[in-house]
Structure 1
Amino acid sequence: MADLVVTSIAVDDAATQLKSVVDELDNMKELWDGGDIWGHRTVKNAMGDFVDSWWVKREKLQENLKDLQGKMEQAAETWNNTEIELAKSLESE
């Protein structure tokens, strides 16, 4: 079984990618308010029902992702600080 290797780049990238997802969810309303993109009335009504339900679920998802993203940024900062301190300790030996 291979060892798990985590680098500061991977941790930083994960925090950045989570931020992108949160930003997309924050700006999603602009996409839906852009006009009639569905065409047929039946499709438009079905999508309207979906969207109404989606906004409730989206808000909860956004809260959870923002929390996760904040924790990921903290983890990245801690990881980077730990790497720096470990490198310093190796230099002093």
Structure 2
Amino acid sequence: MEKEEPRFLVGSFERDFDSRLGLEPWQTGIFGFYKSGSATDILPMEKQELYLKDAFGLRTLHETGRLHLKAVPGVEHGQWLTSEKIFKSHVLPHLA
């Protein structure tokens, strides 16, 4: 039996920030973050230093097609862990 290559799934939600519901900015859930010195402009994952230096294999996973990023409108941060419907719809298909 051939060994399965590891995969990494990251989920986020698309909505305006509400600290009661999750991370700021929402793009943090898919490795985006504010540009240095800005509270509004977002630097995407591919331009982050951690990604460029491949500090923990994120770039390698992405470049080899084993990184699955998903931003789902209306999904609150905690729902990724607590909603069976969200799990079955957006996570389970990547585990099969």
**TM-score (ref. length: structure 2):** 0.27
Structure in which a larger fraction of residues adopt strand: 2
Q: Which has the larger radius of gyration?
A: 1
Q: Which has the higher contact order (CA 8 A, sep 6+)?
A: 1
**TM-score (ref. length: structure 1):** 0.28
Structure in which a larger fraction of residues adopt helix: 1
